[in-house]
Structure formats: structure tokens, C-alpha cells
Amino acid sequence: MKGTNGIPVRLRYAKRGKIRWIGHRDVARAMERAFRVVQLPLAFTEGFSPHPKVSFGLALSTGHESDAEYLDLVLAEPLDLEPVPARLSDALPDGMAVTGIAHLADRAPALQEAVTSVSWHVEIEPMAGASGRVAAAMREPALETIRRRKGREVVEDVRPVVRSITVRDDSTVDMELNTQPRSAKPGEVLAAIGGLTEVRALRTHQWIERDGARLEPLDADTRPHVPQVRAS
């Protein structure tokens, strides 16, 4: 986090099950409540209306699940990070859990600036020949879909967003999508391919690429951290 006074920290958390239907603001409120419950010594901004120095990464669309959500925060004082994930998880709603934590390097780029792509595991409505349909679509120079921009529908080409799509079987697709200079949702990509319908989508990874290295956010711009625990 650029220009921060205090001790910057990065968290990874999961969002699974029914809680996938709450929006980004509700997730932020749940996390901030957990910070208060465990009395995390957060640093606050100065001025007339101080607020905790917490910065969320890429927003997750309502209805999607994830094992790879991230946020950065600043602590006002040193803290043993090892017990923090379990303590925060106990204070979060069912379906949310903190699964990793690390000290963040000083002046690290913001998550929304640093993440270059995300990986998805997508369940689709069963369709015979899904693999062939995807392969044919990936050979096309453009994949157009209708998206809403500023309250109106526009036609956009999502082909530049798609890094890879792998059909595991007739009801499961894995894909990696760029986040810069623009992104797309899994369902929008499937709609552009045609004939494929998203049933459930799980964000499995976020990636930061820099100087030839490809790292997850808990390994990029961070200092040595405690062992990580993946959500079951």
C-alpha cells in the first residue's frame, strides 16, 4: 500500500456457499465487523472522519464464489500474525474464512493495479460437444457479447480478455481471464461463445505478473509469512 504509516498486511479469504449472494459492500461490512470483534489494532486515516486503512482487491460479482479474495490493511502496532486467520474466521459469517496472511512490503502497489489475471472453475449446464464449441470459438478473431455500461447495453469483444479455456467435461470449464486493461465475467465469456450457460462459478486464483514471474498476491510484494491454510 503506497504511502502508508504503520504496518501493512495482506489477507486472503474465501467466500463460499449461500454467502455468495451478498454484495461487495456487505462483505466489506462483515470483514470490518470481524476486525472490531477480534480488536485488530488497525491504523486510521486522519481528518474530520477517520476510517480504517483497509483496501479491498478486485470486487467479486454477487453470486460467484471464491477461494482467492484479497485485501490489504495497515496495523497501528506490531502483531503476531499466526493466530489472526483463525480468530477472524470465527468472527465472520458462515461461508467466509481468512485462509492466509502476510506482512506486506512498504509502498506495494494496490491489488487492483497489480493483479493481471484471474482463474475460474465454472460449472455449466451439461452440453454434449462443449469442448468442440469452445475450440471453434477460440479460433475466431472476435467474441462479441452484450454488456451493460452506464445503464445501457453495448456490444463488446471479450476475446482479448480470454487467456485460456479448458473444458474438463460436458459440465465443467476452467478459464483464465485478463483483468487489464479490462476484464469480463465468466458468464459473459460463455455467452459470447454461444450455447454455454453458467451454473456456478468459483474464482480459484488471482495472479500478479512482473519481471517474468507469476505469483499469487500472498506471495507478491510480501515479506515471509505464516503457513497458509486452504479453504476446504
pLDDT tens digits for 40-85? 999 998 888 888 999 999 999 999 999 999 999 999 999 999 999 9
Q: Are strands 65-75 and 7-15 parallel, antiparallel or unpaired?
A: antiparallel
Which secondary structure element, helix H or strand E, spans residue 21, and what is its range? none
Count CB-CB contacts under 10 A for residue 200.
Answer: 13
pLDDT of residue 147: 80
Instruction: Look at the pTM and tell me if it is higher than 0.75.
Output: yes
Q: Do domains 7-113 and 117-210 have the same CATH topology?
A: yes
Proportion of the chain above pLDDT 90, given as a percent? 79
pLDDT of residue 227: 46
Cell (9 digits) for 87: 480468530
pLDDT of residue 153: 86
pLDDT tens digits for 16-34? 999 999 999 999 999 999 9
CATH numeric code, 7-113: 3.30.70.580
Q: Are 119 and 207 in contact (CB under 8 A)?
A: yes
CATH numeric code, 117-210: 3.30.70
Positions of the chain with pLDDT lower than 50, given as ranges: 225-228, 232
User: Which amino acid, residue 200?
Assistant: R
Q: Are 184 and 171 in contact (CB under 8 A)?
A: no
Q: Which residues of 143-178 are buried (b: 16+ CB within 10 A; e: fewer)?
A: bebebeeeeeeeebebbebbeebebeeeeebebbbb
Question: Per-domain residue ranges for the chain?
Answer: 7-113, 117-210
String of DSSP letters for 138-161: HTSS--EEEEEETTEEEEEE-GGG
String of DSSP letters for 42-99: B-B--SSS--B-EEE-SPPPTT-EEEEEEEEEEESS----TTHHHHHHHHSPTTEEEE
Sign of CA dihedral 87, 92, 94, 98: negative
Instruction: Say how many Å lie between the first and final Cα of the chain, rounded.
Output: 30
